[in-house]
Homo-oligomer: A and B are copies of this chain.
Amino acid sequence: MAEPDGPAAGAGRRLATAPRVITVPKELRQLTAGWTGSGQLVGLVPTMGSLHAGHMSLVAAAQRECDKVVVSIFVNPLQFAKGEDYLSYPRRLDADLALLAEQGVDACYCPQVETVYPEGFATRVLVDAGSELWESAMRPGHFSGVATVVSKLFAAAGPGRAYFGEKDAQQAAVVSRLAKDLDLGVEVSVCPTVRDPDGLALSSRNQLLSAAGYRAARCLSRALIEAARRFAAGVVSGAELSAAAAQVIDSEPGVRFDYAGVVDPADFRPVIEANGETRVLVAAGVEGVHLIDTSLLASPPRASR
């Protein structure tokens, strides 16, 4: 394997040929069934597009571990609650496809909404574990929308592995549970959050922020760092740690504090007493944009500048 910074940087990177673009599930199934049938491991990276370095780190992980990589791009209306930013969510398919071509991805599945949810569509997948708090409480129906579309993506792509980002830790837990519960035979990999030099977790939604909003959004990662700092200094009370994180966000001008949770990573329930496995979840509204971040108390984001 080449060194990350060596001349062949990006181990597993293929020749820069455009990925095969697929828009209907049947065609995707045929393609991946051929790969699977010849013994190749298929990796799937589900995205809503507007790809950034966070997504590309998932793609790189998939390329390291799998024989073929499919990236799906679909802004899923089912996972947006009423009044959320479904319409304004950034979309730029051409730029995304160029990035995927550069990275040598094998196929890109980018169906139309009417293909995914045709008239008469009547099925929902619900996952209860760890999904009734935090994002679930903030965004009614969100995880059911995620679980439903991921079920469809897994069924059509038939991957052996699928890649999700740690930033959306609660989503990753829902998808892992779903894959196990429905016998989907998919191993769910959760990859580390990619951050900008100031610690802000990369998110397609960051594009919706002004320069001032972008700076203000750093309070999320600073909140995680503050909780971890107190934990390192001996504080183990979940209530005290979450209050410390909340305080950082709440004191940032122009930012709406949504939640700060100090939780058991197994079920996302608040812990009384924290340990090294404990996860911190934070969320805030910045210029009307919903932003989230998370880290383990034992491995917070690096301090911002």
Chain A residues packing against B (C-beta within 8 Å):
25-26, 29, 33, 36-38, 120-129, 147-148, 151-152, 155-156, 177-178, 181-185
Contact = CB atoms under 8 A, between A and B. Distances in A.
25 contacts: A25-B185, A26-B185, A37-B37, A37-B38, A120-B129, A120-B177, A121-B181, A122-B127, A122-B129, A122-B177, A123-B126, A123-B128, A123-B147, A123-B177, A123-B181, A125-B126, A125-B182, A126-B126, A148-B182, A151-B151, A151-B182, A152-B181, A152-B183, A155-B183, A156-B185
A177 B124 CA distance: 11
A34 B141 CA distance: 38
Q: Which 7 A-B pairs have the closest CB atoms?
A: A37-B37, A123-B181, A122-B129, A25-B183, A122-B128, A156-B183, A155-B183
* Residue of A36, A37, A148, A185 with highest tally of chain B CB at under 10 A: A185
Contacts of A129: 120, 122
Contacts of A185: 25-26, 29, 155-156
A36 B147 CA distance: 27
B122 A124 contact: no
A38 B177 CA distance: 31
Contacts of A126: 123-126
Contacts of A124: 125-126, 128
Contact of A122 (B122, B151, B181): B181
A155 B182 contact: yes
Contacts of A148: 182
A123 B156 contact: no
A37 B36 CA distance: 7
Nearest to A154: B155
Contact of A125 (B37, B120, B125): B125
A66 B183 CA distance: 23
Contacts of A122: 127-129, 177, 181
Contacts of A128: 122-124
Nearest to A111: B183
Contacts of A121: 181
Given A152-B182, A182-B151, A183-B25, A123 B125 contact: yes
Nearest to A152: B183
Contact of A184 (B36, B120, B125, B155): B155
Contacts of A36: 33, 37
A216 to B, nearest CB: 36
A293 B33 CA distance: 39
Nearest to A121: B181
Given A122-B177, A148-B182, A156-B185, 13 more contacts: A36-B37, A37-B38, A120-B129, A120-B177, A122-B127, A122-B181, A123-B126, A123-B147, A123-B177, A123-B182, A124-B128, A126-B126, A156-B183
A156 B180 CA distance: 11
Contacts of A123: 125-128, 147, 177-178, 181-182
